[in-house]
Amino acid sequence: MKPIKEAELLIEKIKRDYSNDISLLVIMGSTIYNDTHELSDIDMFFVPKTERGFNLEFTFIIDEIGYDFWDIMGTS
């Protein structure tokens, strides 16, 4: 599976199950700009609007690619 596909699956999960908890989700980084290298990861940032949203922050690895899903409010 391509790295952007995993990110798209996460976005679909957010839309389906957390649409009332997240105000904004942004994907950034070299993968989005098609400028990847062997250490490229996927950076995703979000603005939570509920306590449940604040608790979504996490990092994971799939097939040696890191995925960062971070709250940009800095309070979680």
Domain ranges of the chain: 3-71
Question: Would you write out the chain's pLDDT as a tens digit for each of its 76 residues?
Answer: 466 778 888 889 999 999 999 999 988 877 777 787 777 788 889 999 999 998 888 888 888 888 888 888 765 4
Q: How far apart are CA 43 and CA 66, in angstroms?
A: 8
> Locate tokens 């899903």: which residue?
69
Note the pLDDT of residue 75.
53
> Locate tokens 């070299």: which residue?
30
CB 48 within 8 A of CB 20: no
DSSP classification of residue 8:
H
